[in-house]
Amino acid sequence: MSNQVLIVASEAAARAPADVAASLSFTPVVAGSEQEALDLLDRETFALIAVSGGASWQRLRDELERKQPAARILELPEPNGDDGAVRRLMIRYLDRRARPQHFSSEERYRFLSNILESFTGTLELKEVLRRIVSITRQEFGADRAWLLHPVSEQAELAKIRFAVSAPAYSVQHDQYPSSLSLKHSAKLIRRLLDADGPIVITEGDADLDPQQAEIFQVRSEMVQVLRPRDDEPWAFGLHQCSAPREWTDEEISLFAEIGRYATLALNNTLLHERAVREMAKVTAILDQIPESAAIYNAAGQLERMNAAAQREPVSLFAPDPEGRLRKNRHRYIDGSPLEADDLPSMRAVRGETVKSDYLVHDARSGDDRVINLKAAPIRDDRNHVIG
């Protein structure tokens, strides 16, 4: 759990809650404006976010819930010279022992909805991993959270894709390799892969690698497997280092739910990364073609064109079919006009292969040019035309 409390209020209104937070051994961080608060949320995590009341702060509170769903959000009462009300509120919110032991159905739904929105709010892989790990560690008050990949019975090494530790249990860089050996964890991995949900491991467990347990000061841990589509399994875990911890049934159930949302976020992000890589390959191939070439989507909209097309003085590849027809006045070789649906690109998205000469107007010279245009459909692995 973070030791910081973010107070979003004017200097006068922030004075009392800051004093209360400091007296409870928390570090108060005061933001006097909406933008300052949002900037801090991108860099730091907070146990509590206390926001000055008033309708003007509603948008900010909504953004706080989206960016740090694990943090508790408190609306500060209007300052009236009595710090007792502020103190009572903040004690109730900051002391984990004072928190209810069980979520109500509504609280659980709201919390998990915020978790899902946060996890899926970006497609940048490193940021997705940071959110999964940081938010989960903070919510469970664990000493460490981590993601390991790949995890299988055949893998001898797995890469630590992201890990966050409490300051007291951070591991020195020379002791914290980017990859971990799985040679002495085969039985534990088998248990993990066979389990229907998270498993709990405590110090002294025969399947726990003693050397790694010593390096990471593991007293107890809760681990589950994430299985993103078309990827090898990931391990997602929490360490408790300060003392052995008995994870409750509700914590195990909540961790499993978070794991499902983490898997969904990984699916989206990994699919996006694969698409970006494939499109980079397509662009590289297109640029090797000496003739002008372009790719259209299934609706006939221009997606990309190669370097030769960008150098072509007659711009053949307008973004939409009507624009291509209007700009270049495509006609058959006998001079008869084309409809938009008769353009080679539109015929190709209907599944036809086209190779024919056309008349195209050159706006620079005012003349017509004979252009040989070829078009072919792009099909997916189910033989559906996708461009």
- Average confidence (pLDDT) over 126-146: 88
What would the two tokens of residue 27 be? Answer: 């570090």
Q: Among the residues of 238-373, which ranges form H helices?
A: 249-288, 307-311, 321-328, 344-349
pLDDT at 105: 74
231 CB burial (10 A radius; 0-12, 13-18, 19+): middle
H-run or E-run covering 36 = helix 34-43
pLDDT at 258: 93
Cβ within 8 Å of residue 125, ≥6 positions away: 269, 270, 273
Q: Which residue has the higher pLDDT, 378 or 317?
A: 378
Tens of pLDDT, residues 146-182: 999 999 888 888 899 999 888 778 765 444 567 788 8
- Average confidence (pLDDT) over 25-34: 83
Residue type, 350: R
Query: What average pLDDT does the structure give for the chain?
Result: 81
pLDDT at 222: 95
Length of the chain: 387
Residue type, 3: N
pLDDT at 372: 83
pLDDT at 100: 44
Question: Considering the chain, what percentage of its residues have pLDDT values greater than 90?
Answer: 14
Q: Which residue has the higher pLDDT, 53 or 387?
A: 387
Distance CA 193, CA 203 (A): 20
Tens of pLDDT, residues 186-217: 888 899 889 999 999 998 888 888 888 888 88
pLDDT at 200: 92
Predicted confidence (pLDDT) at residue 68 exceeds the cutoff of 90: no
- Average confidence (pLDDT) over 6-19: 84
Residue 212 to residues 158, 182, 222, Cα–Cα distance (Å): 13, 10, 15
Question: 317: pLDDT confidence band, cut at 50, 70 and 90?
Answer: confident
**Dihedrals phi, psi of 290, to nearest 5 degrees:** -70, -30
380 and 386 Cβ atoms separated by less than 8 Å? yes
Predicted confidence (pLDDT) at residue 53 exceeds the cutoff of 70: no
Predicted confidence (pLDDT) at residue 346 exceeds the cutoff of 90: no
All domains of the chain in start order, with CATH: 4-98 (3.40.50.2300), 122-273 (3.30.450.40), 290-375 (no CATH)
Predicted confidence (pLDDT) at residue 48 exceeds the cutoff of 50: yes
154 CB burial (10 A radius; 0-12, 13-18, 19+): exposed
Taking the whole predicted model, whether its pTM rises above 0.85 is answered as no
In which residue are the tokens 């990859």 written?
A: 179
Question: Considering the chain, what percentage of its residues have pLDDT values greater than 70?
Answer: 86
The C-alpha angle 163, 165, 168, rounded to 5 degrees, equals: 155
Tens of pLDDT, residues 240-289: 888 888 888 888 999 999 999 999 999 998 888 888 887 788 777 877 88
Instruction: Report the Cα 147 to chain-centroid distance in Å.
Output: 14
DSSP 383: S
374 and 342 Cβ atoms separated by less than 8 Å? no
Predicted confidence (pLDDT) at residue 366 exceeds the cutoff of 90: no
pLDDT at 101: 47
Question: What region, left, alpha or beta, does residue 177 occupy, with left being phi > 0 and alpha being psi -120 to 50 degrees?
Answer: beta
- Average confidence (pLDDT) over 224-253: 90
Q: Which residue has the higher pLDDT, 285 or 328?
A: 285
Peptide bond into 150 cis (omega under 30): yes
Distance CA 69, CA 324 (A): 48
